[in-house]
């Protein structure tokens, strides 16, 4: 199992466009990937679940993956969040 914490940095948080990019990236991995925000937990491969977390600027997330490509999956998603989805 691989886990990393990351903070949302883009001004608008993760709304529909970045959420769809995030889910598409997560869906490219075989590992089971979850996103935790506080006590809420969501599948990284579900657009509805990601949007339901209400990920605003400065939200701290924990991304966890379990499977054959877990390290690459977590690092890819953390890098994507740190890139601010190309919005700024």
Residue 24, number of CB atoms within 10 A of its CB: 12
Query: What's the CATH code of the domain at 8?
Result: 3.30.1340.10
Measured over the CA atoms of residue 43, residue 39, residue 68 and residue 76, the dihedral's sign is: positive
Residue 17 scores a pLDDT above 90: yes
Residue 88 scores a pLDDT above 80: no
For 65-86, write each residue's pLDDT tens digit: 999 999 999 999 999 999 998 8
Task: Note down the domain range covering 31.
Answer: 2-86
Q: Is 12 helix (H, G, I), strand (E, B) or coil?
A: coil
Give the predicted TM-score (pTM) of the model. Answer: 0.94
The number of folded domains in the chain is: 1
Q: Which residues are catalytic?
A: 15
pLDDT, position 87:
79
Measured over the CA atoms of residue 61, residue 31, residue 66 and residue 71, the dihedral's sign is: negative
Over residues 35-53, mean pLDDT: 97
User: Residue 29: which pLDDT band, with cuts at 50, 70 and 90?
Assistant: very high
The CA distances from residue 80 to 24, 76, 87, in Å, are 11, 6, 11
């Amino acid at each position: 199992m691989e886990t990393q914490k990351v903070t949302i940095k883009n001004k608008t948080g993760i709304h529909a466009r970045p959420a769809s990019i995030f889910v598409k990236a997560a869906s490219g991995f075989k590992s089971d990937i979850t996103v935790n925000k506080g006590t809420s937990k969501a599948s990284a491969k579900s657009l509805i679940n990601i949007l339901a977390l209400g990920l605003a600027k400065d939200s701290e997330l924990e991304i966890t993956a379990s499977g054959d490509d877990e390290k690459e999956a977590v690092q890819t998603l953390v890098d994507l969040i740190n890139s601010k989805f190309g919005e700024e």
